[in-house]
């Protein structure tokens, strides 16, 4: 971003002492005092454990040119501009909205229950072939992360691709108002955050509020393969454009054609009158809807066949999102960022396809925020694991007995072990005859399944050096 202090005052509606430093240009926004730098605005965010107001002096000492706060501050150098607002998080959103208005980039907003980050990365990869494109850093997609991502975008950008994440009722509307997208795409809904949203219909009802914030003339894209989503989308935005990977009568369609060498997949796309085959770094039928959502959004913004094909082929998937690494005869799949029932089942199916005759080992963690649906969904997780043909299932977290029930229901005859730590996982694994194969690591964020992955990686590397 690049805005003057007076621009910030107008955008946020702030009052207070702006100091005696004239009208400096602000080039970045920081909420972590350790990252403060010259020409930055430090925004004091009050949190459950730490309050940014207590770190304002440190931020100014590191060069922050001004501070945005919800109360008067002491201990700052004389003349430090302090912009006072009622709510610093809301003001951060207003500032991002003002920057969006100034830049004028076309904004694609992405939401869904599983694969938002994948869709965002694919869409940004395609649009980067069209012109300068900005995107969220990793999954900075909430009421703080979204505006920070928008404020990091450049003035010369042609497009911004922003994912929006919600976990409770009432969260989408303010996020969508900040983004005010030109194109909004929701590629799926599933049983995620049910503790707060109730059921899949509740998830869909909250997600589709995104469409109400579209700019005049904007385009809404939604998958008609999910009845709750499609019905809710049509109610909110009757002109919503359909996506389908299941043969529905949609102008935008996709089909998985199969895996090819080096873990890449081939997909068929129909984008209105345009038909094309594409190769991507993703393998598995469930990725068809992610690829379709990205291609459709880019197509709406004018991306050509060559740009879509090239963007999909060269997309780089971030770590912790079905990121595959090979270590000798081991293929380790890092899908540890988060998990819900929909993403779990899909990751297991994709890992099973990737195995192609090699032993499949599932290292899974509890799916949290399931509320009253927790037992049912963990039983289904066990059933999906059994149906995958896995040689072993290692499980970490609550509901282990329920997962075991699901395995038994499907006649699972492989290894099932409950492990409470990475060390216990390695110890249990070493007692088996498993050597090599495809290992999937996945669980809810708080389960820290990446620690289990790191432990096995270190063990493999240690053995290779021995």
| Within-domain flag for 95 | no
Residues 163 and 154: their CA atoms lie apart, in Å, by 17
Domain identity same for 348 and 436: yes
| Within-domain flag for 318 | no
Residues 292 and 455: their CA atoms lie apart, in Å, by 36
Percent of the chain with pLDDT over 70: 99
Beta pairing, strands 437-442 & 415-418: unpaired
Strands, DSSP E only, in 143-264?
159-163, 183-186, 219-223, 241-244, 252-259
Domain identity same for 301 and 167: yes
Instruction: Identify whether the C-beta of residue 21 lies closer than 8 Å to the C-beta of residue 29.
Output: no
Q: What is the torsional sign of CA 381, 386, 391, 392?
A: positive
346: containing domain: 323-465
Domain identity same for 138 and 36: no
Residues 289 and 385: their CA atoms lie apart, in Å, by 22
Here the tokens at position 150 are: 């928008």
Q: At which of 313, 331, 353 does a domain end?
A: 313
CATH of the domain at 37: 3.40.1390.10
Percent of the chain with pLDDT over 90: 89
Q: In the predicted model, is pLDDT for residue 296 greater than 80?
A: yes
Q: In the predicted model, is pLDDT for residue 38 greater than 90?
A: yes
Q: How does pLDDT run across 229-246, given as a tens digit for each residue?
A: 999 999 999 999 999 999
Residues 218 and 208: their CA atoms lie apart, in Å, by 14
Instruction: Give the mean model confidence (pLDDT) for residues 187-194.
Output: 94
What is the residue-averaged pLDDT of the chain? 95
The band of 262, judged by pLDDT with boundaries at 50, 70 and 90, is low
Domain identity same for 73 and 116: no
The band of 465, judged by pLDDT with boundaries at 50, 70 and 90, is low
Residues 215 and 55: their CA atoms lie apart, in Å, by 38
Give 417-425's long-range contacts (Cβ < 8 A, gap of 24+).
Answer: 417/392, 417/393, 418/394, 419/394, 419/395, 419/452, 420/396, 422/451, 422/452, 422/454, 422/455, 423/455, 425/363, 425/394, 425/396, 425/452, 425/455, 425/456
* CB neighbour burial string for 277-291, b if at least 16 within 10 angstroms, e if fewer: ebebbbbbbbbbbbb
Q: In the predicted model, is pLDDT for residue 257 greater than 70?
A: yes
Instruction: Give the mean model confidence (pLDDT) for residues 158-185.
Output: 97
Domain identity same for 147 and 44: no
Q: What is the pLDDT at residue 118?
A: 93
Instruction: Identify whether the C-beta of residue 369 lies closer than 8 Å to the C-beta of residue 196.
Output: yes
Q: At which of 295, 313, 331 does a domain end?
A: 313
Instruction: Identify whether the C-beta of residue 189 lies closer than 8 Å to the C-beta of residue 226.
Output: yes
Residues 153 and 160: their CA atoms lie apart, in Å, by 7
Q: In the predicted model, is pLDDT for residue 336 greater than 60?
A: yes
Q: What is the pLDDT at residue 180?
A: 97
| Within-domain flag for 97 | no
Beta pairing, strands 82-84 & 106-111: unpaired
Strands, DSSP E only, in 57-157?
66-69, 82-84, 106-111, 133-135
Domain identity same for 274 and 333: no
Domain identity same for 389 and 435: yes
| Within-domain flag for 93 | no
Q: What is the torsional sign of CA 428, 430, 433, 437?
A: positive
Q: What is the pLDDT at residue 138?
A: 81
Domain identity same for 238 and 334: no
CATH of the domain at 459: 3.90.190.20
Domain identity same for 305 and 328: no
Instruction: Give the mean model confidence (pLDDT) for residues 417-432.
Output: 97
Q: In the predicted model, is pLDDT for residue 466 greater than 60?
A: no
Domain identity same for 328 and 303: no
The more confident residue out of 18 and 163 is 163
Q: How does pLDDT run across 57-93, given as a tens digit for each residue?
A: 999 999 999 999 999 999 999 889 999 999 999 999 9
Enumerate the β-bridge partners of residue 270. Answer: 253, 275
Counted domains in the chain: 3
Q: At which of 288, 313, 338 does a domain end?
A: 313
Q: In the predicted model, is pLDDT for residue 315 greater than 60?
A: yes
| Within-domain flag for 336 | yes
């Amino acid at each position: 971003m690049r805005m003057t202090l007076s621009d910030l005052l107008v955008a946020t509606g702030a009052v207070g002492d702006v100091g005696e430093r004239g009208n400096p240009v602000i080039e970045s926004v920081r909420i972590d005092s350790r990252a403060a730098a010259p020409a930055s605005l430090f925004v004091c965010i009050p949190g459950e454990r730490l309050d940014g107001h207590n770190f304002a002096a440190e931020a100014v000492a590191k060069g922050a040119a001004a501070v945005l706060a919800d109360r008067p501050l002491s201990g700052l150098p004389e003349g430090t501009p302090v912009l006072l607002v009622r709510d610093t998080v809301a003001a951060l959103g207003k500032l991002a909205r003002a920057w969006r208005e100034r830049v004028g980039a076309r904004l694609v907003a992405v939401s869904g229950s599983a694969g938002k980050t994948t869709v965002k990365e694919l869409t940004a990869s395609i649009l980067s072939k069209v012109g300068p494109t900005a995107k969220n850093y990793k999954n900075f997609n909430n009421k703080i992360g979204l505006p920070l991502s928008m404020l990091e975008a450049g003035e010369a950008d042609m497009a911004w691709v922003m994912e929006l994440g919600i976990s409770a009722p009432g969260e989408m509307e303010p996020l969508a108002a900040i983004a005010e997208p030109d194109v909004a795409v929701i590629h799926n809904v599933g049983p995620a955050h049910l503790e707060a949203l109730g059921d899949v219909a509740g998830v869909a009802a909250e997600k589709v509020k995104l469409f109400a914030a579209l700019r005049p003339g904007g385009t809404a894209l939604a998958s008609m393969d999910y009845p709750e989503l499609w019905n809710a989308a049509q109610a909110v935005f009757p002109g919503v454009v359909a996506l389908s990977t299941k043969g529905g009568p949609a102008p935008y369609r996709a089909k998985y054609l199969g895996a090819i060498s080096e873990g890449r997949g081939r997909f068929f796309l129909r984008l209105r009158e345009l038909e094309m085959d594409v190769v991507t770094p993703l393998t598995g039928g469930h990725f068809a809807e992610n690829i379709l959502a990205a291609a459709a959004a880019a197509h709406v913004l004018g991306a050509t066949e060559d740009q879509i094909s090239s963007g999909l082929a060269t997309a780089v998937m971030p770590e912790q999102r079905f990121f595959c690494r090979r270590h000798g005869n081991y293929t380790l799949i890092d899908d540890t960022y988060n998990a819900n029932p929909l993403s779990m089942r899909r990751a297991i199916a994709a890992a099973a396809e990737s195995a192609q005759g090699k032993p499949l080992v599932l290292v899974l963690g509890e799916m949290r925020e399931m509320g009253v649906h927790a037992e049912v969904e963990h039983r289904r997780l066990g059933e999906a694991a059994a149906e995958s043909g896995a040689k072993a299932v290692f499980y970490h977290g609550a509901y282990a007995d329920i997962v075991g029930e699901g395995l038994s229901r499907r006649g699972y005859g492989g290894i099932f072990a409950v492990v409470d730590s990475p060390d216990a996982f390695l110890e249990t694994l070493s007692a088996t005859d498993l050597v090599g194969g495809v290992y999937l690591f996945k669980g809810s964020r708080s389960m820290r399944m990446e620690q289990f992955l790191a432990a096995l990686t270190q063990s493999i590397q240690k053995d290779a050096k021995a």
